[in-house]
Amino acid sequence: MSRHTRADTMQIGELAERTGLSQRTIRHYDEVGLLPASRTEGGFRLYSETDVQRLDHIRQMKPLGFSLEEMAELLELLAAEEPSAQRLAAYLEQALPERDKLARKLAQADEFIAMLEQHLGH
């Protein structure tokens, strides 16, 4: 039984188009339990606006190096009416150094691009 009406759902192709993710990636997230889809009677996956938001959260977590299990717990925490502040704080503490690493890598890439542009006379 579907948890949504057909009017407020989209199939995987529309979800892929809206999020910029491939259908293969979305299917993978369904298979590992991060983005469980409801199904039509014919077996087609159906997604809602809540699923779009959930995918956005997955995309935001991915570069921070969280495991699938950690991402699943974070998604549960974010969806909870009263999430554990202690668990969220622990995840924030884990995310901050990863974000700093990404910022350093981006700064290095910017420096290299600037050097290339300088060599080209831009």
CA gap 32, 11 in Å, rounded:
19
CA gap 11, 58 in Å, rounded:
19
pTM of the full structure: 0.81
Side-chain half-sphere exposure of 96, counting CA atoms within 13 A: 6
- The pLDDT profile of the chain, 122 residues, written as one tens digit per residue, is 444 455 688 999 999 999 999 999 999 999 999 999 898 889 889 999 999 999 999 999 999 999 999 999 999 999 999 999 999 999 999 999 999 999 999 999 999 999 999 999 87
- In 10 A of CB 113, how many CB atoms? 11
Tell me the Cα Rg of the chain: 19
